[in-house]
């Protein structure tokens, strides 16, 4: 006998909302919702069509639904999951199959635009904040000091520009008026 | 070994259909149907119609109970509902309110 407090046998079909505090081991079929405080083990013979929330989820069987764990999601060999995985730690062993969105690390509420699978959800990279303060000061200080070279330095500090002071060169060379028309005419 | 066990602090709201034994220690609301034995342990709460094979009821059952075999109401059991079975035993100390239907 396994240690799990609740066992759903392989010849058992449940269509229900299952809630509680203990561990659950599923060998059979479950449809609905599974929310427990303990560990959920989805064994190889199990087929589940339900969202699962638990402290820890270990999968060897088939699941259609989202998995949410407070600690760990572990997909072992034989696991087949169609749904999203969210947990501080997600492990997918060789042989585990997933189709869905995976989010690890500190799991926030709500979906974020698809990130690549199994990446550690780093806080959204802050785009080199172009500190507005120095940029503002730059034009003021410029005329008082030496006219030409002065503005280059503070501006370069404040913004990530290629050439000091000047705006970055346009990526696409600007075409003169009528050039485009001339190009199309040529054809 | 019982094949399906509903643990003590688990609640199931819906239907459970088992082609094997079921042991209930927790709570079931809805429907419970087993091909084999059903055991409702002391402390368990079943608010559902129960069908199955041999049954041993020691917890609280509210709903109709139908068995192809025998139904045993253990001491301490609280059963409210009709019981239909081939054989029924009611232990001293079991609470029961409902009709009994046996093949007479």
The structure's pTM equals 0.67
Does A90 lie in the same domain as A22?
A: yes
Between A and B, how many residue pairs show a Cβ–Cβ distance under 8 A? Answer: 88
Domain boundaries, chain B: 15-96
Name the token pair of A162: 């290629």
Q: Does any domain span residue A121?
A: no
Does A72 lie in the same domain as A146?
A: no
Does A68 lie in the same domain as A12?
A: yes
Using the 3D structure, point to which of A103, A120, A148 is the last residue of a domain.
A103
Question: Are A97 and A78 within 8 A, CB to CB?
Answer: no
* Chain B interface includes A49 (CB < 8 A): no
Whole-number Å distance between alpha carbons of A48 and A62: 6
Residue at token pair 């069987």: A61
> Nearest Cβ partner of B9 from A7, A12, A21?
A21
What's the domain range around A145?
Answer: 132-186
Name the token pair of B56: 């041993």
Does A175 lie in the same domain as A88?
A: no
Q: Does any domain span residue A118?
A: no
Whole-number Å distance between alpha carbons of B98 and B104: 18
Tell me how many domains chain A contains.
2
For residues B65 and A157, the model is more confident at: B65
The ipTM, to two decimals, is 0.83
Q: Model confidence over B31-81: pLDDT tens digits?
A: 999 999 999 999 999 999 999 999 999 999 999 999 999 999 999 999 999
* Chain B interface includes A11 (CB < 8 A): yes
**CA of residue A131 relative to chain centroid, distance:** 28
């Amino acid at each position: 006998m396994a240690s799990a407090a609740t066992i759903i046998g392989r010849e058992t079909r449940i269509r229900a909302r299952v809630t509680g505090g203990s561990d659950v081991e599923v060998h059979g079929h479950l449809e609905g919702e599974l929310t427990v405080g303990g560990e959920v083990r989805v064994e190889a013979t199990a087929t589940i069509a339900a969202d699962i929330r638990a402290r820890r989820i270990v999968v060897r069987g088939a699941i259609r639904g989202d998995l949410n764990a407070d600690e760990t999601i572990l997909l072992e060999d034989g696991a087949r999951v169609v749904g999203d995985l969210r947990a501080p730690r997600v492990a997918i062993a060789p042989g585990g199959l997933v189709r869905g969105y995976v989010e690890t690390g500190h799991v926030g509420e709500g979906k974020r635009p698809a990130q690549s699978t199994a990446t550690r959800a780093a806080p959204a990279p802050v785009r080199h904040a172009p500190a507005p303060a120095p940029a503002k000061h730059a034009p003021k200080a410029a005329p008082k000091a030496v006219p030409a070279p002065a503005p280059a330095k503070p501006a370069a500090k404040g913004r990530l520009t290629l050439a000091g002071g000047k705006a970055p060169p346009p990526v696409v060379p600007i075409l003169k008026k009528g050039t485009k028309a001339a190009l199309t005419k040529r054809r | 070994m019982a094949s399906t066990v509903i643990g003590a602090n688990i609640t199931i709201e819906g239907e459970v259909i088992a082609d094997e034994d079921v042991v209930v220690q927790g709570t079931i609301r809805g429907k419970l149907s087993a091909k084999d034995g059903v055991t409702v342990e002391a402390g368990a709460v079943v608010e559902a119609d129960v069908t199955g094979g041999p049954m041993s009821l020691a917890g609280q059952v509210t709903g109709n109970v139908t068995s192809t075999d025998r139904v045993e109401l253990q001491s301490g059991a609280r059963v409210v509902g009709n019981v239909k079975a081939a054989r029924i035993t009611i232990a001293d100390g079991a609470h029961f309110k409902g009709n009994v239907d046996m093949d007479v």
